Structure formats: C-alpha cells, structure tokens
Amino acid sequence: MSDQGNGVLDSIKSVLFPIHPAGWPFIAAFAVVAVVLGMFSDFLGWIGLIATGWCVYFFRDPERVTPQRDGLIVSPADGLVQMITRAVPPAELGLGPDPMDRVSIFLSVFDVHVNRMPADGSIKRVEYRPGAFLSANLEKASQENERCAVLMHLEDDQPLVVVQIAGLVARRIKTDVRPGQEVSAGDRFGIIRFGSRTDIYLPEGCSILAIEGQRMIGGETVIADRNAREGVRVGRTS
C-alpha cells in the first residue's frame, strides 16, 4: 500500500480507535442485527452496516493531550458550551445553598462521550440520582434529569464539581471513580450514552475562558484558569 494510503488508514484509526470498553457489547449487537437484516435484504443489510459504523464512531475514545500548568481547568467533555451561569450545585453533594459558576456542555450523538477529569485532585463524593430524561439542552435538565455528581477537591482543598447528566436519548451513565481516589487532569472517569450533558461547577476565583457556543474538546480545551485575572470573554460568530 502507498504512503498516502497508509496515511489515510492512520487518520481513520486515530479518529475511531481506541474504543471505550463499554461500547463493545453494543457494537457486537449492532453487527449481529446487520447480518440478520442482510439475510433478508441487501438494502436492510447496508442500513445495519451503517448503523454499526455509527456505533463504532459513537464509542470512540481518542487519545488527548492535556495542557499542564498550575491553575488550569480543562473541559470534562466534548461538545458545545450551552450556557454559563451561577447555580447551586447538586444538593446530594452537601455543599450548601451558595451558587457556584457553572459551565454546561451539551453533547450530541456525534460527540465523543467519554468524560475526563478537569484538574488534579482527590475524589470526595460520587452521588448517583435517578430522574427524568428531558432534553439535555434545557435548563431544568440540571435539576430534574438522571445524573451522577462527582465532588473533587483540588490540591488547595477547593471544591470542584462535575455532573454527568442523562438526556432525551441517553439512558445510561457510567462513572468509574470512587471516593478517596487521586486523579489527574485528563484522566478518563466515565461515559454517558447516547446524547447528554456535562456540567462543571468551578471554585471561586476562576477566570472562565470558555464562551457560550464554543466547542470543547474533553481533556484538552482550557475551560477556566485559577491564576488568570482577565475579564469575562465574549464571542463573535465569524
């Protein structure tokens, strides 16, 4: 195969692989259905093959390069910044009624759904709460939808919260961290399937560098800086 062909294959592999372990049962099921459909109709077989390809694409878990510097907080998820506001963190974490800066990231079914830790620190609480499956782009989804809230303390003991929120299509939240665990920025900590939202509640004193409408890359895009003192950023569509 030519160098150009090898380059194309390498590019495809870098996008589709590795696959998150949670995806293999679904990929296998889609593939079996595709084979069965193909026995009845070539057209249905192609539909099944396309669906299987989409399933592989959905559960992709690409490597990321996480910026390293004191004070940086990176995005916990791929997706679009839907809103930036102040809100009270989930009650089950016991942080009290004081609001924190919250950045909400909406994940479509085409985004990588693997969640990553936004900073170095230690996990203090992991609290799952069942709930509704409203569209994840609604404000009330933060309070009413099924969710798993993770409270971590940064190295100076300040709290930071990441919440995995189920959406209209999402029906399963998987969280792979536990209280007492030490984590680093960019570490994988769970996955949501299939469309969803991830909220991050930031400690006081952060400069929020994200803007509404900006696309985030989980584990890479800097969402806030605890050491910066710049003003609020505004965006412009271009």
Active site positions, annotated? 196
Distance CA 148, CA 178 (A): 12
Q: What is the 3-state secondary structure (H, E, C) of 217-228?
A: CCCCCEEEECCC
Q: Is 15 exposed, middle or buried (0-12, 13-18, 19+ CB in 10 A)?
A: exposed
Collect all residues with Cβ–Cβ distance below 8 Å to 63 and sequence separation of at least 6. Answer: 18
Distance CA 169, CA 211 (A): 26
Q: Is 117 exposed, middle or buried (0-12, 13-18, 19+ CB in 10 A)?
A: buried
Query: Helix, strand, coil: what percent of the chain each, to 5?
Result: 25, 35, 45
